[in-house]
Amino acid sequence: MPLSLNTSQKLKQAGLEWKPATHDFFAVPDVDMDDKFFALSDMTVTMEVLHGYHAITFNGSVEWALDFVFQTDAIWLPTETQLRELIISKLGKDSALMLQSSIGGYVVTVQNNGSKSIFEGVTAEEAYASALLSLL
C-alpha cells in the first residue's frame, strides 16, 4: 500500500527526490483527483521526455482523457519497502531500524551513532515516513 498523499507531499517539500521506476505509485493533486492514485507500468502509464521535460504519459487509457502530466506536477507515493530502503540508505550500515506494531498503529525505532529515535504512525508507511522526514 502506498503512502498517503498528504505525507508524500511533505516528503517532496522536504527534498525527497523521485527517480520514477516501473510499479511506482503516484497521485496528481489539485485537479479533482486527490483520492485516486496511479502506477507506472510498461503498458499504459510510462515515463517519457516531452519537449525536454520528464512527463508521465497515459497511453491507451480509455477511462479518461489525460494524455500526460509533468513529473513535477505528480506526487510520488512511496511504499513501505521503498521508505524503509530510503531510510537505510541515509543511515548507513552501522545503524539499526526496527518496525513494531502498537495499539495505535506502528512504531519505528532508529538507532544511529549511539542515539535512539522513535517515530509513530497509524500505518507502517506513515511511521517510516516520519523517520525519513527527520533525515531529510
Q: Which domains does the chain have, with CATH numbers?
A: 5-76 (2.30.30), 80-135 (3.30.160)
- Count CA atoms closer than 13 A to 121's CA, side-chain side: 20
pLDDT tens track of the chain, all 136 residues?
A: 789 999 999 999 999 999 999 889 999 888 777 778 888 776 667 788 888 999 887 765 455 555 677 888 889 999 999 999 999 999 987 788 999 999 989 999 999 888 899 999 999 999 999 999 999 9
Q: How far apart are CA 127 and CA 75, in angstroms?
A: 19
Q: How far apart are CA 107 and CA 44, in angstroms?
A: 37
In terms of C-beta density within 10 A (0-12 exposed, 13-18 middle, 19 or more buried), how is residue 129 classed? buried
By the 8 A CB rule, do 16 and 5 touch?
Answer: no
pLDDT attached to residue 60? 57
SS3 category, 108: strand
pLDDT attached to residue 82? 96
pLDDT attached to residue 29? 87
pLDDT attached to residue 101? 95
Q: How far apart are CA 48 and CA 37, in angstroms?
A: 19
SS3 category, 15: coil
